[in-house]
Amino acid sequence: MSLNSVIVVDDEAAIRQAIEPWLTLSGFEVRLHPRGEECLAQLPEHFPGVVLSDVRMPGMDGLELLSRLRARDKDLPVILLTGHGDVPMAVEAMRNGAYDFLEKPFSPQALLDTLRRALEKRQLVLENRRLHEQADARAQLEATLLGVSPGLQTLRRQVLELADMPVNVLIRGETGSGKELVARCLHDFGSRAAQPFVALNCAAIPEHLFEAELFGHESGAFTGAQGKRIGRLEYAHGGTLFLDEIESMPLAQQAKLLRVLQDRQLQRLGSNQNIAVDVRIIAATKPDLLEEARAGRFREDLAYRLNVAELRLPPLRERREDIALLFNHFAQSAAERLSRPAPQLSGQQLGNLLSHDWPGNVRELANAAERETLGLNPQPSEAVAQSLADQQEAFEAQCLRAALSRHKGDIKAVLNELQLPRRTLNEKMQRHGLVRDMFL
């Protein structure tokens, strides 16, 4: 519904018939209900407008309707229409949360003015809620996708932008870079969060079982098919299907998946019945799917269907500012799980972490942190060739991040600890993509 929506509740048909065309001509979107019970039953979630209700009605009267509406949304503006003898009652209702009341007979202009004021207030409340929800989502996402590097900041922004869009997403990233975690965030921070998130690694399913796994089967569809099985696509109805290593999907199943995406329905193996499915596909791959298509290993039309939006996950070697933060996070988690003290890194150990190439990306770093917690000396023995200037930059970024984190963004305390002029600190923070608000 639009931001000019008005719900009118009145048991008198003549009143409803008089109000509707006049409000419609005045630019409002109007819904009519003869009873409060019907209004409650059909009230949309997050209704963006105003409720205009008579006080005296059979069954649920306007005061009870007000109470029930405020129980759902305490900020929903409710305007009461009262007879002359109901004014004291309406004043008491305003103390209980009604936005305003109009005494019958009221002038059309008075009603218009009251509705417009109420709608302006409603829009401000909803915008304030939206901003709070965005801030909460950003904070939750920052606690899930850890990192202060520019690449991670860009990734988090893209995830929040795409989470609620009804489009398929292709995630590109190296092994161990966190593709499933990003897919889970796209699901959890979107409108499908309450529905299933189903993950399938395409490389882990034998080709002869792939169709049954993805589409399901009826009893007796093939040798060994005992009973009916719901496939991953059908199980993810209303939610998200995450297809990891999508480049490994057999070509025959690619054609069938493309048909499902086009027709929004599937057939179980051994059945001729069409089953409607509403699924968002998030696929993950290491190679370029279009290059795979040009090599004849992937369907080009399916690649375009999956790649409506693309997210690139930076490898860990491109986000060295995040290495110490991630290592400490994984070490602390391992320490809590294993009931051991969290390790404290020496300068030499930190230098080894920052200079290592991390071919296994975040997964390799998490393993190193757990081994360090267990005292198994996991420090990487081979370091990638890196200039002294690059190592100094990475170390400087880590020192700044650690100081800002320790002092919770207190710039004065950071200046005192690092003994830097304010201008120098500002320049270094800007160069390393550090913002004070990250650490408050």
For residue 12, give both structure tokens: 């008198």
Q: What's the confidence (pLDDT) of residue 356? A: 86
Sign of the alpha-carbon dihedral angle for 102, 103, 105, 107: negative
327 within 8 A of 321, measured Cβ to Cβ: no
The region that residue 408 occupies, defined by phi over 0 for left and psi between -120 and 50 for alpha, beta otherwise, is left
What is the residue-averaged pLDDT of the chain? 88
Mean pLDDT of 362-386: 75
Residues 90 and 161 in one domain: no
> Does residue 221 share a domain with residue 166?
yes
pLDDT of 429? 86
Residue 437, Cβ density class (10 Å: 0-12 exposed, 13-18 middle, ≥19 buried): exposed
pLDDT digits (tens, 9 = 90+) for 99-109: 998 888 888 88
pLDDT at 6 over 50: yes
Instruction: Tell me which of 279, 314, 349 is where a domain ends.
Output: 314
Residues 115-166 pLDDT 10s: 999 999 999 999 888 888 878 888 889 889 998 888 999 999 999 999 999 9
pLDDT the model gives residue 437 = 77
We report the CATH number of the domain holding residue 355 as 1.10.8.60
Banded pLDDT at 383 (limits 50, 70, 90): very low
Say yes or no to pLDDT of 222 above 80: no
**What confidence score (pLDDT) does residue 236 get?**
95
CATH number (domain holding residue 250): 3.40.50.300
In terms of average pLDDT, the best of 19-23, 165-169, 353-357, 377-381 is 165-169
Spatial contact of 212 and 233, defined as CB atoms under 8 Å apart = no
Q: Helix 108-144 and helix 150-163: axis angle, to 10°?
A: 140
Confidence of residue 386 (pLDDT cuts 50, 70, 90): low
Q: Which domain holds residue 66?
A: 5-128
Over range 350-376, report the average pLDDT.
Answer: 89
Query: Residue 218 has what pLDDT?
Result: 81
Do 308 and 323 share a structural domain? no
Asked if residue 255 and residue 186 are part of one domain, the reply reads: yes
Asked if pLDDT for residue 224 goes beyond 70, the answer is no
269 and 176 housed in the same domain: yes
> Same structural domain for residues 211 and 109?
no
Ordered DSSP codes for 49-103:
SEEEEES--SSS-HHHHHHHHHHH-TT--EEEEE-GGGHHHHHHHHHTT--EEEE
Average pLDDT over every residue of 231-238: 94
What is the reported pTM?
A: 0.70
Q: For the chain, what is the domain count?
A: 3
CATH of the domain at 43: 3.40.50.2300
Q: How many CB atoms lie within 10 A of CB 318?
A: 13
- Higher pLDDT among residues 285 and 218, named by residue: 285
379 and 239 within one domain: no
Give residue-wise pLDDT tens across range 307-348.
999 999 999 999 988 998 899 999 999 999 999 998 887 777
- Pick from 314, 348, 364: which residue ends a domain? 314
Is position 140 within any domain? no
Q: Is residue 137 part of a domain?
A: no
Q: Please say if the pLDDT value at position 58 is more than 70.
A: yes
Confidence check: pLDDT of 391 > 80 = no
